[in-house]
Amino acid sequence: MVRRVIILVACVVLVGVAILAVRVTSERFDNSGEQTSPTVVTEAPSSAVITPERSDEAAVNYGWRLTAQDDFDGRRVDRTKWNIYDGFNPVSGETLSESQCVVKGGTLTLVGDGDATAATCGIAWREDQAYGRWEVRARFPAPADHDFNPVLLLWPESDTNTDGEIDFAEIYDPARQYVESWLHGPGNVDAGHTRKDLDITQWHNYAVEWQPDHVTCYIDGVAWATYGRPGTIPSVPMHLAIQQNHNKHKAEPPIRSTAEVDWVRIYE
């Protein structure tokens, strides 16, 4: 009996101590006291999604795989990569000369002479392929002559536009304030045309994606023209060509005009 009383008294004492501890703790963290509640730091969940910044290169935005490139770091156009137009073209009436293709400081400049010859520059990538993606960083200084028309295009291996032609950046504005794209389907049919207002005297990245069912043109990583009407997409191997065409419309000589290319990249 005595043993039970001792145990009961001990339990009562323990309960009293516990109640006292709770009251003391409560008073320490009461808002009227000097002690404040601890700050809880919550970390961002490991699954948080970080959205990458958009690139001004279509290849970066869409994960294209690089297969070839030219940064024009030499002293002249690399003939292992390019064919260079040279001589008089009786069909177009143009004079094309290797000397008009100037490589300096990592830039290719296509020079259109301001004299009676109006000699100009054009180059073509040596390798042909069926479908793929191309991107060119270029600018087109002003003032320029109305008769000098730079163009970035895909041209067929057969060397005839009856197999199609893809002009993904073609310039007709002497003020260089807009760019156009044209799709010529098999049989040289007019398969589409788009114009975009843009200050092309500044550097921009011009890209084209050519697939069996569509052609999409990009500027600075953003699509601005898409063509996909069945039967109008070229299917034969093609290659990149960079030209400053001279389309003569007047008797007097043109004013000197240029187009500049920083780099060329080719993708699957």
Range 114-137 average pLDDT: 97
Q: Is the dihedral of CA 216, 218, 221, 224 positive or negative?
A: negative
For residue 43, tell me if it sits in a domain.
no
Average pLDDT, the chain: 86
Range 119-129 average pLDDT: 98
Is there a cis peptide before residue 45, judged by omega within 30 degrees of 0?
no
- Shared-domain flag, residues 6 and 136: no
Q: What is the pLDDT of residue 117?
A: 94
- Shared-domain flag, residues 70 and 27: no
Tokens at residue 195, please? 């114009």
- Shared-domain flag, residues 135 and 231: yes
- Shared-domain flag, residues 136 and 10: no
Per-residue pLDDT tens digits for 130-188: 999 999 999 999 999 999 999 999 999 999 989 999 999 999 999 999 999 999 999 99
pLDDT at 16 over 90: no
Range of the domain at 169: 58-267
Per-residue pLDDT tens digits for 18-59: 433 434 334 433 444 443 333 333 333 334 444 457 999 999
- Shared-domain flag, residues 76 and 181: yes
pTM for the full predicted model: 0.81
- Shared-domain flag, residues 14 and 70: no
CATH number at residue 147: 2.60.120.200
Question: Are 205 and 195 in contact, with CB atoms under 8 Å apart?
Answer: no
Q: What CA–CA distance (Å, rounded) separates 140 from 221? A: 19
169: part of which helix (H) or strand (E)? Answer: strand 165-170
- Shared-domain flag, residues 111 and 156: yes
Number of H helices, E strands in the chain: 2, 17
- Shared-domain flag, residues 18 and 113: no
- Shared-domain flag, residues 22 and 126: no
Range 107-118 average pLDDT: 97
For residue 253, tell me if it sits in a domain.
yes
Burial pattern 66-86, b for ≥16 Cβ within 10 A else e, equals eeeebebeeeebeeeebebbe
Q: What is the pLDDT of residue 229?
A: 95
pLDDT band, residue 91 (cuts 50/70/90): confident
Per-residue pLDDT tens digits for 197-234: 999 999 999 999 999 999 999 999 999 999 999 999 99
Q: Is 201 left (phi over 0), alpha (psi -120 to 50) or beta?
A: alpha
pLDDT at 94 over 90: yes
Per-residue pLDDT tens digits for 64-84: 999 999 999 999 999 999 999
Number of domains comprising the chain: 2
For residue 40, tell me if it sits in a domain.
no
Kindly list the distances between the CA atom of residue 74 and the CA atoms of 70, 79, 97, 104, 255, in Å, as whole numbers in the listed order: 10, 11, 19, 7, 28
- Shared-domain flag, residues 27 and 129: no
Measured in degrees and rounded to the nearest 5, phi and psi for residue 226 equal -135, 135
- Shared-domain flag, residues 108 and 179: yes
Could you count the other beta carbons within 10 Å of the beta carbon of residue 6? Answer: 9
Q: What is the pLDDT of residue 52?
A: 59
- Shared-domain flag, residues 217 and 131: yes
